[in-house]
Amino acid sequence: MNTLHEIAGTVVLSTPAEGTPVRGDGDVMDLIGDALGNHAEVVVLPVDRLDESFFSLRTGVAGAIVQKFVNYRVKLAVIGDISGFVDKSTALRDFVTEANRGRQVWFLPEMEALNARLSGS
């Protein structure tokens, strides 16, 4: 079950690590709908909830998921260790680096990093 909490004045919708893998538009729209319905600005998605196809950029899954969040102006924070995926793909490493420079999608190792980012620390 998704939970709501606040970090530095920002409403955050957190999804549990266990559950059906997020792999397509329907899954993403459910999350975005839940976020918008609860006035959440950020969705926290644990790495374990993402289907492995997300981390193979040639599948287009990551691009489609990220684009949905951007279109609906809901921030996405992917939380967890993705080093195994990044070590295997220069394209993914570049994608993650660029995402982390922006304000819409972040790949962070733990919740403390999200707390710091939202707090401006």
pLDDT digits (tens, 9 = 90+) for 67-82: 999 999 999 999 999 9
**pLDDT classification of 121: cutoffs 50, 70, 90:** low
* Partner residues linked to 13 by β-bridges: 4, 43
The full set of domain ranges for the chain reads 3-116
pLDDT value at 117 more than 80: yes
pLDDT value at 119 more than 80: yes
Note if the pTM is more than 0.85.
yes
**Cα 52 from Cα 88, distance rounded (Å):** 13
Overall fold of domain 3-116: Transcription Regulator spoIIAA (3.30.750)
Tokens of 28: 């993403």
pLDDT digits (tens, 9 = 90+) for 15-58: 999 998 998 888 999 999 999 999 999 999 999 999 999 999 99
